[in-house]
Amino acid sequence: MAYAQKALVITDIGQPVVLVHDHAIPEPGPNQVQIKVTVAGLNPHDGKSRDAGLFISQSLPAVLANDVVGKVVKVGQGVAGITIGDRIVSQAVFAPGSLQNGLQEYALAAVGSMAKVPDSITDDEAATLPTNIIAPLVALFKVLEIPAPWSPTAEDFDYVNASILIVGGGSNCGKFSVQLAKLAGIGRIIVVGGNESELNGFGATHVIDRHAGYDVVLGRVREMVGDDLIYAFDSVNPPDGQILALNALSSHKRGTLARLLPLGPIDESKVLGKKAGFDVRNVFGSSQVHPELAGPFWERVPEYLEAGKLKSLPYVVKHGLEAGYVNEVLDAYRDGNSVFKTHIHL
């Protein structure tokens, strides 16, 4: 490795990111490419990494940002269909010491967690995808065991007559979960929270105002699905809020809740009438942890983007590899403020 690039790094947990000028430039190994980073997208977990050491505590100094877009400058052995000059969108691995994260001038991307960016799609549009789409991909097609639409078992699954409840439609993961459910052809896509017209445009069949109150929301879900719901995904709530989705599940069929925030156990005394029982399963949205699902998905991403089957989400841009920009966003996540998906342009 040559020590010749600028990067924003965490040197001490709980302290701001800082700019360094001598960070190692990683060389691509087999099934990897080296990219010159153009966009690094931030997400809430980056704030938890900075402030509490999530994913990085044993590998300081560390670079953040798992949503990465860049132009290929080197190609490793075994990489097919990618050439120097191609634009790539990638989800960086969450593993400690990752050489793939985006807040550096040059990073690595790996087969199975990257896709070429079509000419019709901008770098920023592509950068809205990685972490926020892989989490619901895993939730729907791994955790809930709905067959991925490209899988061999898809032919035998009745998507049209299936229903799914998505709680947290206003979140980026919630919005992409609606798009993935539509992509699969699920007949009833019921969403709690979020902008109704936007979610309808993504494929939601029913959108319920989350402010209507617990009993009203639960009653409306029940009106739509009766006692037949077996699939639910909560993309935003801690355990107390996950009770809504659990109580919406069927009583006479065993249902499953996939939850993105496994912050503790469920108070099962508040889950009523589940004669057939229920499952609560955690979601970890990593391409590398789920290669059998993520690999085929990333292969299809260019096609889905060009066809409009996947649509990018809103974002804001900060120009330059500036520590102040990144710390400002991570402070907002820490303080519970509303944050637009932020892209750092290197």
Domains of the chain as residue ranges with CATH: 2-129+313-345 (3.90.180.10), 133-282 (3.40.50.720)
Q: For position 4, what pLDDT does the model report?
A: 85
Distance in angstroms (rounded) separating the CA atoms of residues 331 and 329:
5
pLDDT tens digits, 157-180? 999 999 999 999 999 999 999 999
H or E element in which residue 130 lies: helix 130-138
Instruction: Please name the amino acid found at residue 141.
Output: F
Q: For position 115, what pLDDT does the model report?
A: 98
User: Which one, of 45, 49, 42, lies nearest residue 15 by Cα?
Assistant: 49
pLDDT tens digits, 313-345? 999 999 999 999 999 999 999 999 989 999 999
The average pLDDT across 211-237 equals 96
Q: Is the pLDDT of residue 2 over 70?
A: no
pLDDT tens digits, 55-103? 999 999 999 999 999 999 999 999 999 999 999 999 999 999 999 999 9
pLDDT tens digits, 109-139? 999 999 999 999 999 999 999 999 999 999 9
User: Which one, of 79, 65, 95, lies nearest residue 34 by Cα?
Assistant: 79
User: Which one, of 287, 202, 214, 224, lies nearest residue 246 by Cα?
Assistant: 214
* Residues 284/308, Cβ–Cβ less than 8 Å: no
Q: For position 139, what pLDDT does the model report?
A: 98
**Mean pLDDT over all residues of the chain?**
96
Q: For position 1, what pLDDT does the model report?
A: 45
pLDDT tens digits, 268-310? 999 999 999 999 999 999 999 999 999 999 999 999 999 999 9
Q: For position 322, what pLDDT does the model report?
A: 96
Distance of CA 14 to the CA centre of its chain: 24
pTM of the model: 0.96
